[in-house]
Each structure stands twice: as structure tokens, then as C-alpha cells.
Amino acid sequence: MTEIIDGNAVASQIRDDLTAAIETLADAGARPGLATVLMGDDPASQTYVNMKQRDCEEVGIESHHVDVDGDASPAELYDAIADLNEDPDVHGYIVQAPVPDHVDYREVIRRVDPIKDVDGFHPENVGRLVAGDARFRPCTPHGIQKLLETAGVEPEGKDVTIVGRSDIVGKPLANLLIQKAEDGNATVTVCHSRTDDLGAKTRSADIVVAAVGVPELIDGSMIGEGAVVIDVGVNRVDVSERRSEDSQTASDQSDTEKGYELVGDVEFESAKEKASAITPVPGGVGPMTRAMLLYNTVKAASLQEDVAVDL
Ligand code: NDP
């Protein structure tokens, strides 16, 4: 019987655990604050920002928001970042990606005060992570580690194949899993678009992590018997196209109304036949990413306010 790893349940537990730390901070007169910065009016980014603000309210983190006009100069965005670096009520903030083309996202990240970099993208935080001394683990890889831990899957000694080498998922996850640490000690293969014979690399793995952005790239034939499958992908697929492709595909009413449905990078049904455990999309990695942003914000507040909390 394949275990369906319930990311919503694990994320909910993490949020509950955070409330104790938030109370400890409150007793010391500190309320953690998270700011979101949105440049432009991309609807998907707006949705992500709204969700992050709602998450904050639910656990007692104060949320702040800064809108920057999509046509503004990079200097205007940098000014907003400088203000947040100075603001004592903001312990952490994220600049929602993507930023408009005329802005260099790497330069944006370099300007974030590393102690407030709750995404964990600043070069100082990346360096610390690689050196085995992470301050803020990037939210998605950290969420994946928590999912594995909760599912009782120890990476130690396991062969892990990660498909995708992005700076926000594949690379940091690979670095975390090879660390000489209790939640590391895995042997990791990182694949990408130039990888030869991807199926051979995924089939031989004990744990497969798909972070590609290609709908259902990885099917059951690419999964070894009994492997654990973590699907990071979030892809919008046109409902009508999908229906004509496969009349058996189930879509709920809300999907139909929106005209799309969300699918992962893994073909769930065929992969489930082979896997011992698998994350669904939605309801797997996504909620964990959001929960770990709250976790990092509480950690940032603890560091800046010099209040020890149990995390
Ligand atoms: P990127 O686009 O930054 O990276 C994608 C990676 O996949 C690249 O390394 C690319 O290779 C590789 N790739 C692309 N096509 C193939 C292929 N056919 N075979 C093998 N490798 C391939 O993506 P992200 O890491 O930002 O995101 C990946 C997915 O995860 C997306 O669907 C995104 O929406 C989702 N996501 C979900 C999150 C969540 O919380 N659930 C959080 C973050 C992302 P190359 O480097 O050679 O180009």
C-alpha cells in the first residue's frame, strides 16, 4: 500500500509548533514580522503574496507589504529594500520573483540584509548552507526534509536523484542531503536538461525528487520499486486539452471553472504503482514551502531579538 504523504497535515503541525515559539517571543515583547515586496502586477505573484500574508495572520506573525510599480527603476526597488533592512518591525522579507526584466534579481538578493533573508537566497546564506552551517534553509528544500522526516524516511545511506538544478530547489536540496548530518548523509545525483538517460538515474534511486516544471515528465516506468517520490512541480494544465488527451482524468468543479488544473512533474497514478510513498500535487510540497517561510521568520525574529526559542 503506497503512502500518500500529506503535506497539508505536516505543514499544519509545523504551524502549531511555531505558535509556542511565537508566544515565547511575545513574552519578551517581540512580535515576528514578515514583509513581502511585489514589483509589478503579475496575478500569480499577487496570489502567492496574499497566501503568505494570510499564513502570517493565522500564526500571529505581523505581515507587512510593499508594492513597487512594475515600471519603476531598479533604484526605487533598492530603496524599498534599504528601508526594510532598517525597519526593526520587519525581521524577514521576501522579494517575490519574478521581478520585471529590467531588474537584476541577483542584485536584488545581494541587497537583502542576510539576517532578514528568510528565503535563504543571499550569497552569504548560500555559502553558510554549503559549509554545513545553515542559518536559513531555503523553504522548499527544508520543507522536503521535514516531509521525509515525518514519513520516517532517513536519507542516510540512500541514493537520491534530484531532477532539476535550480538555485531555489535542486541545488540547495542536494547540498543539504549530502551534509554530514543526521538529516543528510545521502548520496545525491542531480539531473538537468542535459542529463543523459534520465530514466536510468531515477530508476536506480531510493528517493526521487522532481523539481523540473514539466508536467508529468516522470512516469511510473522511471521509478524503481519501493522508491519514495517527492514531486515539487506545480504546473497549470489546460483542462480542455487534458480532457481530450485522457477522458478518464478527473477534474473538480473549481478547476473546470478556472479552466486549468494543477499537476506535478510526476505522473501520479503510474508512479504511485511503484512507489512506497509519494507526495500529491497539490497538497504535498507546496504547503510545506509556505510553512517553512513562517519557520524562518520566527527564527529571524529570535536571532534579531536575541530571544531563544525552541524550533
Ligand atoms: P527552474 O525552471 O528554475 O529549473 C528547472 C530545472 O529542471 C532546471 O535545472 C532544468 O535544467 C531542469 N529540466 C528542465 N527540463 C528538463 C528535462 N526535460 N529533463 C531533466 N531536467 C529538466 O525550476 P524551479 O526549480 O524553480 O521549479 C521547478 C518546479 O517546481 C516548477 O514547476 C515550479 O513551479 C515548482 N516549484 C514548486 C514549489 C513548491 O513550493 N511546491 C517551490 C518552487 C518551485 P537546466 O538547468 O539544464 O535548464
ipTM of this complex prediction, to 2 decimal places: 0.99
Average pLDDT of every residue of the chain: 95
| Cα–Cα distance, 46 to 73 (Å, whole number) | 20
| Cα–Cα distance, 48 to 37 (Å, whole number) | 11
**CA distance readout (Å), 224 to 246, 272, 274:** 25, 11, 6
* pLDDT (average), residues 239-248: 63
Q: Is residue 247 predicted with pLDDT exceeding 60?
A: no
Query: What is the reported pLDDT for 257?
Result: 65
* pLDDT (average), residues 80-91: 98
- For residue 259, say whether it is annotated as part of any ligand binding site: no
* pLDDT (average), residues 228-234: 98
Q: At what angle do helices 139-150 and 170-178 cross, to 10 degrees?
A: 50
Query: Range of 148's domain?
Result: 139-286
The pair phi, psi for residue 128, each rounded to 5°, is -65, -40
* pLDDT (average), residues 88-96: 98
Are residue 177 and residue 58 in the same domain, yes or no? Answer: no
On whether the CB atoms of residues 228 and 278 are closer than 8 A, the answer is yes
| Cα–Cα distance, 297 to 291 (Å, whole number) | 10
- For residue 208, say whether it is annotated as part of any ligand binding site: no
Are residue 144 and residue 95 in the same domain, yes or no? Answer: no
Whether a cis peptide bond, with omega within 30° of 0, leads into 32 is: no
- Please state the atom number of ligand 1 nearest to the C-alpha of residue 289: 40
Are residue 144 and residue 227 in the same domain, yes or no? Answer: yes
Q: How confident is the model at residue 259 (pLDDT cuts 50, 70, 90)?
A: confident
The proportion of the chain whose per-residue pLDDT surpasses 90, expressed as a percent, equals 93
Q: How far is CA 197 from the centre of its chain?
A: 27
How far, in Å, from the CA of 213 to the mean position of ligand 1?
4
CB burial class (10 A; 0-12, 13-18, 19+) of residue 250? exposed
Q: Is residue 253 predicted with pLDDT exceeding 60?
A: no
Q: How confident is the model at residue 248 (pLDDT cuts 50, 70, 90)?
A: very low
Q: Is residue 244 part of a domain?
A: yes
- The protein residue whose alpha carbon is closest to atom 42 in ligand 1 is 140
pTM (whole model) above 0.90? yes
The pair phi, psi for residue 232, each rounded to 5°, is -90, -25
Contacts of 89 (CB under 8 A, 6+ apart): 31, 33, 62, 64
Q: What CATH number is given to the structural domain containing 246?
A: 3.40.50.720
| Cα–Cα distance, 27 to 307 (Å, whole number) | 10
Are residue 59 and residue 190 in the same domain, yes or no? Answer: no
Are residue 278 and residue 191 in the same domain, yes or no? Answer: yes
Are residue 54 and residue 103 in the same domain, yes or no? Answer: yes
Q: Is residue 93 predicted with pLDDT exceeding 70?
A: yes
- Candidate of 169, 216, 219 to mutate for ligand 1, largest count of ligand atoms within 8 Å of Cβ: 169
Domain count, the chain: 2
| Cα–Cα distance, 201 to 214 (Å, whole number) | 17
Are residue 109 and residue 145 in the same domain, yes or no? Answer: no
Dihedral sign, Cα of residue 296, residue 299, residue 305, residue 306: negative
Neighbours of 8 (CB within 10 A): 15
Catalytic residues: 52, 96, 119
Query: What is the reported pLDDT for 256?
Result: 57
**Residue range 22-72, pLDDT digits in tens:** 999 999 999 999 999 999 999 999 999 999 999 999 999 999 999 999 999
Query: What is the reported pLDDT for 128?
Result: 98
Q: Is residue 9 part of a domain?
A: no
Query: What is the reported pLDDT for 258?
Result: 72
Cα–Cα–Cα angle for 56, 126, 229, nearest 5°? 70
Are residue 242 and residue 276 in the same domain, yes or no? Answer: yes
| Cα–Cα distance, 59 to 62 (Å, whole number) | 9
Query: What is the reported pLDDT for 250?
Result: 45
Instruction: Among 81, 99, 114, give the residue marking a domain's end.
Output: 114
159-163 sheet: strands from edge to edge: 3-4, 277-278, 228-231, 207-210, 159-163, 187-191
| Cα–Cα distance, 291 to 18 (Å, whole number) | 9
Q: Is residue 188 part of a domain?
A: yes
Q: Which residues line ligand 1 (CB under 6 A)?
A: 140, 163-166, 168-170, 191-195, 198, 211-214, 217, 232-235, 285-286, 289
How far, in Å, from the CA of 309 to the mean position of ligand 1?
34
DSSP 8-state symbol, 218: B
